[in-house]
């Protein structure tokens, strides 16, 4: 959600993507710590949005846990 805020506030400017790296880092940290498993599915979906956005970009990695993964 962090990356989407800046995209909407700064639409059509270079600043629109200014929060992408931070959003990705926070989402990766959430997964690495295992804290994502305690979130309800709706919150996991929002938290993992940055991972999904990175996955669909060229050069991204597909080894990340999917949003709907059990467990």
Model confidence over 3-62: pLDDT tens digits? Answer: 777 888 888 998 888 888 888 888 889 989 999 999 999 888 888 877 766 654 444 444
The burial class, CB within 10 Å (0-12 / 13-18 / 19+), for 1 is exposed
Backbone phi, then psi, for 17, in 5-degree steps? -105, 15
Given this model, what pLDDT does residue 59 score? 44
The burial class, CB within 10 Å (0-12 / 13-18 / 19+), for 38 is exposed
**Positive or negative torsion for Cα 33, 39, 45, 50:** negative
| Domain regions of the chain by residue span | 2-55
Q: Is the pTM of this model over 0.75?
A: no
């Amino acid at each position: 959600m962090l990356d989407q805020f800046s995209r909407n506030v700064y639409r059509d400017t270079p600043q629109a993507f200014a929060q992408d790296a931070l959003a990705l880092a926070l989402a990766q940290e959430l997964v690495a710590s295992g804290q994502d498993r305690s979130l309800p599915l709706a919150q996991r979906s929002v938290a993992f949005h940055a991972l999904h956005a990175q996955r669909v970009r060229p050069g991204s990695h597909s080894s990340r846990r999917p949003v709907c993964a059990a467990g």
